[in-house]
Structure formats: structure tokens, C-alpha cells
Chains A and B, each alone.
Chain A
Amino acid sequence: MISKLKEAVICLKAGKVTLPYPFAAEPVPARYRGRPIFNVERCIGCGGCANNCPAREILLSDVCQEIRIMRYLGQRCTYCGRCADVCPEHAITMSGEFETATNDKRDLQQELEVFMGTCQRCGRCFTAPGPLEQLMMKGYRQDDLPAGRWVYKSRSFLQSEGLPDIEIELD
């Protein structure tokens, strides 16, 4: 009986703690990891985010020699923040957005078109490769944008030297 009274005291002391959530959201803390926001101004198209994303949510596709498309899908993204960690230019920030429910998943996508420069030293490395060469070329990515899938590079293609004089390491 006494324990019941003690429990009652605990309950009464607390008062009402429900937050009025959908009507007024609490501010998120400073380190909060919400939806990542990509800043096209800063992005240099290195693809580090795409290679470190555990959920494979960032796709790269090189449309032509000078345009690289980066697409963030935002469907399976777990907001782990690894992309923001590895970005050398701090082009990705984890925002405070968390109310991302939507009827159309394309609402969550972000697409960046990054203009890539030509190599100043050799000038040769960025000549438009043929389809077969694209497959063998390190650093050249053709993820499946329409299907929203990362294209897994098979080891066998990469071992043959595409362009021996250029050292672009991806993995």
C-alpha cells in the first residue's frame, strides 16, 4: 500500500510532460543529423560521399567529359552523416530537417550537375571515352540513374589498366 502511495507521489510530482509536438516542434540540437543538404557551389565532384555512403544513396553519372551528375536519392538514407564527414570541401551539411514524409519520393532527391575541368597537365585524360573504355576507366562512374541503383564495379574490369598514366584512386 505504501509503495502505491510512493508511486502516486512520483506520478504527481512529474506533472504533464507531453509535448505539443505536431503543433509546435522542439528546436533540434546543434549536432542534429537531419536530411543532408548538398551545396553545389562547393562540390568538386570527387565522389567521396558516394563511395562512403553505407546505404548507397548517392549516385554519380558522368554525362560527358565535363559534366558529372550527382544524385542523392534520399529514400533509404539513414542520416548517418558519413558523407558530410568525408567531404573535403564541406559541401554537405546535415540539416535539422526531419519531417520528410512525402507522397512522392522524388521530393527527397537532390541533383547536382558539377562541371569538371580538364586535366591541365596531360589534357588527354578526359577525352570522351567509348562505352567499353568507360567501364574500364578508374574514376569514371555510370550509376544507373533511372533505376536509382549503384552500379557495382567488378574487380576484373578495373584490373586492366585503362589509362596507365593517370592515378585516380576511387576505392
Chain B
Amino acid sequence: MTESALWAIVTGVANVILVLAAAPFCEGIIRKVTARVQSRQGPPIWQPYLDILKLLGKEDIESGESPGLQRLSAYLSLAAVLTLAWFVPMGAAAPLTKAGDAILVIYLLTLCGVSTLLAGLAAGSTYSLFGVSREMMAMLTLEPLLAVGVIVGAVETGSLRLDDVLNASVYSLAAWPLAGILMLVVLLFSLQAFVGRVPFDTAEAETEIMEGPLIEYSGPKLGLFKYAQMSKLFVYCALLVGLFAPWGSQWPYPLALLVLLAKIGVLVLLITLVGATHARYRIDQAIRYYAALFVLSLVALTLALVGF
């Protein structure tokens, strides 16, 4: 085993632990800030940890059409997110940059969504199928956005290698990195949708289709899904930071981590505030919104191709 491989494993495991430890904390911040916006006291900031512990400790009930697939999708959802964490720089360089490229990252991102689809299909209730169809519609229009985001970087550097793409490549080429800035704006506007928060939580929509794909889940499996959702939020924010705002990530280890956490904190705050001040969109309205963003991202891609 070479030293670099060992290093990759160490940082990778460190990333996974970081995600698992910090994700519920982000959720706690979201809940607390939302509560304050709503003039409420709000739950203690460590409540999400307790929630997850409680869910994991409950009886594992097997129900629905295909219990095996349900279990698989629960594991898959968390596994996909945690695998993704190996490709995102968190305080240090991304652990597995040598092993994969930008395409793999896009696949992993899609896999997160696919696990939700599987969960809904496996549950097989009418409401979860509605959730699945909405999630699928959203995925079809959303995933290209992120793909374009990664590819813009690839175009700028002329390489699909992850370490090249991640290192602020989007701003590297032109004096006025229009493509990068445009893409950053687009991704900021779509971040809410990626993490499935109000106003884009159409696939879960508690008051319409009762948590959609997750309607049949309870106990540990629900705990895993919830954990995966929280982790997804953290990893997506980290990825966004890695792609578009990596300033400070070259600093020595603890400092770089703090900078990253601060930036993620800002993003989480943004997500919270947008979520707290909007009503949920209907799926057709959401799709129209995504489509507009997609057009913008294509413009960014074109700009990148012509060298801005």
C-alpha cells in the first residue's frame, strides 16, 4: 500500500466522520433559525442527533410490497452520499481524486436521487408513487444542472480530472470569469431544490402527499433516510464550495476546515431563510423554474466554451 493510498483512506474516513457528525448539527441550525424566524423557541440544537438515535433504536418493521428493496434503498441512500463525501474536499484535498473523475461524481449525485426513487417504488403506496413521479420529474431537470456545473469547470481546464475541476478551475481562465460567476448564481438558486427544501420539496410535500416516497417508512430505515438527507445537504454545500468558492482551502488543516464549515454555515443559513419565507411550488411551476435555470447554465457552458 502506497503512502498516498493510505492518505486517501485516512482523509476519506475523516470526511465520512465529519459528514456524519456535522450533518445533524446543520439540521439543528436550520430548525433553530426557522423557529426564531417563526417567533418560536425552537428545539435544542442537538435535537436531530437525538431524533436519529431514537429512530435507529426503534423496532424495524417490514411492510409494503418488497421489504428487501426497501432495506436496500435505505442503505443505498446513505451509502451514496457518504461515497460522494470521498470526492469532495473538506479541509484537505479531496481523498479520492485519483480514483475518479467528474463523471463519477455526477453518477453518485444521481444515485442519491435514485435511492429515493427506489424507496418510493418499493413502498408501493399510491402516495409514494406520486412522490416518485415528482422526484423523477425533478431529477430529470435538476441533475443536468449540476452536471453542467461540473462540466463548466472541466471545459475551463480541459480535463475531467476531479482535482483539476475542483480547484477553482471555473475562475481560472479568463480575466472576467463570466461563466463561473453565472454558474455559481445558477447553483445558488437551485441549491434549495437539490437539498429538497421548501419551496421545492414537492416530492415530499407533507401536506399534499404526506412525505411521498418515505410514507411507508418508520424506525431505523426512516432514520437512515433522514440521516442521508441531512448528509446530502452537508455534502452538496461542501461540493458547491469546492467547485465555486474554494478560497482558503489551501490553508493548513484545521484552518481550512474552519473556513469550509463557515462557508457551509452561510449556505445553510441561506437555505433556511429561503425555506422559511416561501410557499411550496407545484411540480409544474418548479419544473418551469428549473428549466429557466437550465437555460442559464447552458449559456454559462457556451461562455466557457468560447473562453470566458
Contacts and interface: CB of A to CB of B under 8 A. Distances in A.
A15 B278 CA distance: 20
B277 A16 contact: no
A156 interface: no
Interface of B: 36-41, 277-278
Range, interface on chain A: 10 to 19
Nearest to B40: A18
Contacts of A20: 41
Given A4-B277, A8-B277, A16 B37 contact: no
A4 B37 CA distance: 13
Given A17-B39, A18-B39, 18 more contacts: A4-B277, A4-B278, A7-B277, A8-B37, A8-B277, A11-B37, A11-B38, A11-B39, A14-B39, A15-B39, A16-B36, A16-B39, A16-B40, A16-B41, A17-B40, A18-B40, A18-B41, A20-B41
Contacts of A7: 277
Contacts, number: 20
Contacts of A18: 39-41
Interface string A61-86: 00000000000000000000000000
A4 B41 CA distance: 22
Nearest to A18: B41
B287 to A, nearest CB: 22
A55 B36 CA distance: 42
Contacts of B39: 11, 14-18
A24 to B, nearest CB: 13
Contacts of B40: 16-18
Interface in A5-51: 7-8, 11, 14-18, 20
